[in-house]
């Protein structure tokens, strides 16, 4: 079946560094991808999304890159702050159902 997977379960960075979180998906027909941030005890919050007709999209301090050839997605966070510490999920549009989520990468930012 379809799957979405993250490359690293944890990532530790220093405050001010740039963070890169990677994700792979299996369904080449997936047309829409989203990154979510989940803080402890809360529901996931939308960060940024991208459609398959784009390979890059930028938001405030975040950039999502999509490589359809290798079915790879990444989230870049510039000048990482302690408030960015959370679990980050990538999600891909499934075949006619809901979003398919990866397992999540825990980002820890130290001062």
Partner 1 sequence: SQTIHQWPATLVQPVGSPLSLECTVEGTSNPNLYWYRQAAGRGLQLLFYSVGIGQISSEVPQNLSASRPQDRQFILSSKKLLLSDSGFYLCAWSYREGGKAFFGQGTRLTVV
- Separation CA 85–CA 71 (nearest Å): 26
Segment contacting partner 1 (CB under 8 A): 12-20, 69-77, 78-86, 95-103? 95-103
Site membership for partner 1, residue 84 (CB under 8 A): no
| Closer CB to partner 1, 40 or 69, in the complex | 40
SS3 content of the chain, % helix, strand, coil (to 5): 5, 55, 40
Site membership for partner 1, residue 103 (CB under 8 A): yes
Nearest CA to 77 out of 104, 37, 38 is that of 37
Interface with partner 1 in residues 8-67 (CB under 8 A): 32, 34, 36, 41-46, 49
| Closer CB to partner 1, 8 or 46, in the complex | 46
- Separation CA 7–CA 5 (nearest Å): 7
Site membership for partner 1, residue 100 (CB under 8 A): yes
């Amino acid at each position: 079946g379809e799957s979405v997977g993250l490359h690293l379960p944890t990532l530790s960075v220093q405050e001010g560094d740039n963070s890169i979180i990677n994700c792979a998906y299996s369904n080449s027909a997936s047309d829409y991808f989203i990154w979510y941030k989940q803080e402890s005890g809360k529901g996931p919050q939308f960060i940024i999304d991208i459609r398959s007709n784009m390979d890059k999209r930028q938001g405030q301090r975040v950039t999502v890159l999509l490589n359809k050839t290798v079915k790879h997605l990444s989230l870049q966070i510039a000048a990482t702050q302690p408030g960015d510490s959370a679990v980050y999920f990538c999600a891909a549009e499934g075949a006619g159902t809901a979003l398919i989520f990866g397992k999540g990468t825990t980002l820890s930012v130290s001062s």
